[in-house]
Amino acid sequence: MAKHHPETDLLLEYAAGSLSEPFSLLVATHLALCPGCREKTGQYEAVGGAMLENLESTDIDDRLRDKVFAQLSAHVDIDAPAHATTMQNAALNEIDMRLPQPLRSYVKDNLEHLNWKSRGPVDEVKLLTEHAGVTSRLLKIKAGKAMPRHTHDGTELTLVLSGGFTDQGLYFGRGDVETASSQTDHAPVADDDEDCYCLAINDQRLRLSGPITRFLNPFVRL
């Protein structure tokens, strides 16, 4: 069971339908793995729905309303994916149960079969590339390896899908979400016995901060 969760403000924004698609995807995937946050978000959505019912229809932005209702069905339990999506994924490959819904609908393949790009101790696959200003990536931190030490210009959310990592004295396993900000300078280390697969969303760039790698910042884009 997850021990590290998205902040309450983020769950509220999700329930209101005001998060961008990349961050909504991460939150919805966490909800598929975390009954506690799923219950909280359901309560927030119920309150928001009651408020919407009390407003005149002319006062409600159609796009906001559509997003709110879309979120109501977004967090499907990992063991009960939508029938159509299950059939679609089965046709491509055996279902990779490390990928909960709704993330499975975006990836649509087994993790081992993706076109991973090597970044030293970390491999990556980019998602949702049409969202300018937000970087969405699947990460594979190789067993026993540390990510390059880095900090952030903005916010980074990392959701563990499989395996786990240790960062700044805390352990993050399947379903856990780590929130990092411009105040965070870290180098997460994967478990010794298993690769760690994560979904990471950044609203601004990462900056290398190691004693040597920081000099590479003008030449790399993370």
pLDDT in tens, 79-117: 444 444 444 544 444 689 999 999 999 998 999 999 999
**Segments of the chain with pLDDT less than 70:** 48-94, 206, 209-222
CATH number of 175's domain: 2.60.120.10
Domain assignment of residue 89, yes or no: no
Q: Residue 63's pLDDT is what?
A: 53
**H runs (alpha helix) in the chain:** 8-16, 21-33, 35-53, 62-72, 83-92, 103-107
CB contact set of 183 (below 8 Å; sequence gap of 6+): none
- Based on the fold, state whether residues 187 and 130 are members of the same structural domain: yes
- pTM, 2 dp: 0.76
Give a yes or no: residue 210 inside a domain: yes
Residue 191 DSSP class: -
Q: Please state, in angstroms and rounded to a whole number, the distance separating the CA atoms of residues 123 and 205.
A: 17
Q: Which of 198, 197, 216, 196 is nearest to 206 (CA)?
A: 216
Instruction: Check residue 11 and give its pLDDT.
Output: 96
Inter-residue contact 7 to 179 (CB < 8 Å): yes
